[in-house]
Amino acid sequence: MKKALVVIAGLIVLVAAAVLALPALVPAERIKNEAAAAVKAATGRDLTIAGDVDVSVFPALAVQVADVALANPPGFAAKDMLRLKSLDIQLRLFPLLSGRVEVDAFVLTAPVVALEIDRKGRANWVFETGAEAGTASRPAGGTAGGGAPADIRLGDVRIVDGRVSYADARSGLHEEVDGVDLALRLDSLDQPLSADGGLNWRGKPVRVALNVVRPRAVIEGGTSPVDASVAAEAVTLAFKGEATGGAKAGAAGAVDLSVPSLRALAAWTGNPLAMPGGGFGPLSIKGKLVAAGPRVAFTEAAIAFDAIRATGDLSVDTGGARPRLAGKLAVEALDLNPYLPPEEAGTPGAASGHAQPADWSDEPIDASALKSADADFNLTAQSIRMRKIEVGRSALRLRLANGRLNADLDELALYQGVGKGRLVLDGSGSGLGLDAALSLNGVQAAPLLSAAADFDRLEGTANADLQAAGRGRSQREIVASLAGKGSVAFLDGAIRGINLAAMVRNVTTAFADVSGAQKTDFAELSGSYSIAKGIVSNRDLSLKSPLLRVAGAGTVDLPRRTLSYRVEPKAVASLEGQGGQADLAGIMVPVIVEGPWSNLSYRPDLAGAMQSGIGKAVERAVGGKLPALPGTGQATEGAAGAAPASPSPLPLPIDPSKLFGR
């Protein structure tokens, strides 16, 4: 777009120069023909002057041209690329003869510029000839070596009621600005250059202003103080600093961006935010900008976004094979709730007690974005709030190089505990590789689980470790390839809503209150697990509690999203809870939990109970052998030869799933 504007400006100068170069006394018709021929030679396009051409010499060299049009090549929607209602140029004659350009007037009235890209990707501002329109001809007074003219003085230089449109036939994009009014003033190259004007875009006015203190210095490759601003109802941007021209072109100074509402700005630009929540309101960014060549740095940034306050630095270097980003951001309090969708009262299928089944995606994962840039970025936050979860001071470092992203959670304060973690996403090869590790120490489980999942049945001090890695071209492939290990332990805690010790004495009253008033204290609830090909295996779940020991073992099939687990509670003849023996004799009624995640089933394993010793205990009490029991799938010794009964779930005193819900 920048090149297109340069070309348009060059064309205007070319038309003016072609006319000015002709003798003043040549007939108007010949002036038209000579001007059209010059433009045709330089651009390959037809120039049409339908109106009058008036030339006068004294007291100023003045040229007025009406109804000028520059044609588009065949295949473009608009007939003309450039149209002018009139062009009015007045140059002081005597300064011009001595090599100085002093413009009394340069007025473009109602210019219409139509920029287009056709379906084949051709741009109408790219000309067939090799000559650049901006250098095909030079205004009188230019130096022979192509340097800056000795001096330029601008009087009444204006664009009046202009219109610029842009259309891309490939994407259907169309943009247009109208009401373009711009006034320039330059008393000399050693005096300030000022520009002030406005335009209308999407029905809203936009004001622009520019002031260059030493124009000659910029033209000759030096540095000059510069002020520039763009102001509209939805956004204001101001720059105050210095600009450098020549081979080392760049800028350095203070930037001030103010957006009253990001939602209003997005709607104005044609990209309304359909995001829920009350966020995306005011935005303010202030800082120092340094741009030189391929490197841009924005430092000492002060950011205010809604209620979020942050400071930081950012630099971008586009001089390498890939853009490189580096920076840091320190956030005071990061509240994510205004940017999250409202929580739903329940998921589909909740009325039946089961969540709707889900599955892993087979859609190919596109990891190409990981190869688009390199980055090194540090993020710190004094606090983070997401839904009901509250996190203390946290520090995250992101490093991206050669398609591999390393996210290191170096610091995490979480419910009186601490944590560290690491996540690696590797897109350097085929598919996407994932490597994750997380450790938590001293975290209070009750407030964390309550805030994260409205789960209030477990309390204690939690320690956890997780390591998992996998690779694949889709979600399903990654999950099926997962391998790793981990462990979890809850110390000095309790299971709320049930008193398992009381259950040993009186089953009925033990389950009478599941509101949380009763609870089972434990010294430790722990277990470890391994992951292989997406299958999570646990063999050592252990709960130590007065009058009760609970062991558990089973698997979680992540690819198939199913669970197969066996819990073995054992009543013991001791009230020791802290460090009591785990192998004391007692009775046991195992519980089997199995099925898909969306519809787990719970049932007592009566066959296991008979094998565990409860059957023999009852036989000793009744003084004889027991017949086969329905639902055990086997017969006792006294019922040898009987057909085994098919196992069937028997009712428990309470649905175990209710122990882990509200």
Render the burial of 338-366: b for 16+ CB within 10 Å, e for the rest.
eeeeeeeeeeeeeeeebeeeeebeeeebe
Report the pLDDT value the prediction gives residue 643, as an integer from 0 to 100: 39
Cβ–Cβ under 8 Å, residues 588 and 569: yes
What pTM, to 2 d.p., does this model score?
Answer: 0.75
Cβ–Cβ under 8 Å, residues 73 and 124: yes
> How far is C-alpha 517 from the chain's CA centre?
45
Bond into 59 cis (ω within 30): yes
pLDDT tens-digit profile of 119-163? 999 999 888 764 443 443 444 444 444 454 566 778 888 999 999
Do 538 and 413 reside in the same domain of the chain?
no
Report the pLDDT value the prediction gives residue 54, as an integer from 0 to 100: 83
Phi, psi of 511 (to 5 degrees): -100, 5
Do 231 and 134 reside in the same domain of the chain?
no
Residue 470 has pLDDT above 90, yes or no: yes
Structurally, the chain folds into a number of domains equal to 4
Do 658 and 509 reside in the same domain of the chain?
yes
Final residue of a structural domain among 436, 456, 475 = 475
Do 116 and 135 reside in the same domain of the chain?
yes
Domain membership flag for residue 346:
no
Running DSSP on this structure, what letter comes out for residue 611? I
Do 167 and 33 reside in the same domain of the chain?
yes
DSSP readout, 276-290?
-SS----EEEEEEEE
Final residue of a structural domain among 435, 451, 475 = 475
For residue 456, give the nearest of 514, 499, 523, 516 by alpha carbon: 516
Bridge partner list, 458: 495
Could you tell me where the beta strands, DSSP code E, fall in 169-192?
173-186
Q: How high does pLDDT run on average in the chain?
A: 82
Report the pLDDT value the prediction gives residue 651, as an integer from 0 to 100: 43
Report the alpha-carbon distance of residue 91 to residue 99 in Å, rounded.
12
Instruction: Report the chain's C-alpha Rg in angstroms.
Output: 39
Rounded to the nearest 10°, the torsion over CA 484, 489, 490, 496 is: 60
Report the pLDDT value the prediction gives residue 222, as an integer from 0 to 100: 94
Final residue of a structural domain among 303, 327, 351 = 327
Domain membership flag for residue 334:
no
Report the pLDDT value the prediction gives residue 102, as an integer from 0 to 100: 77
Domain membership flag for residue 451:
yes
pLDDT tens-digit profile of 347-384? 444 444 444 556 899 999 999 999 999 999 999 999 99
Do 553 and 606 reside in the same domain of the chain?
yes
Running DSSP on this structure, what letter comes out for residue 588? B
Do 471 and 487 reside in the same domain of the chain?
no
The boundaries of the domain holding residue 395 are: 360-475
Do 187 and 106 reside in the same domain of the chain?
yes
pLDDT tens-digit profile of 584-603? 445 567 889 999 988 888 88
Domain membership flag for residue 349:
no
Do 510 and 535 reside in the same domain of the chain?
yes
CA angle 211, 217, 218 (to 5 degrees): 65
Q: Which two tokens stand for residue 57?
A: 């010499």
Do 54 and 163 reside in the same domain of the chain?
yes
Bridge partner list, 443: 462
Bridge partner list, 557: 535, 562
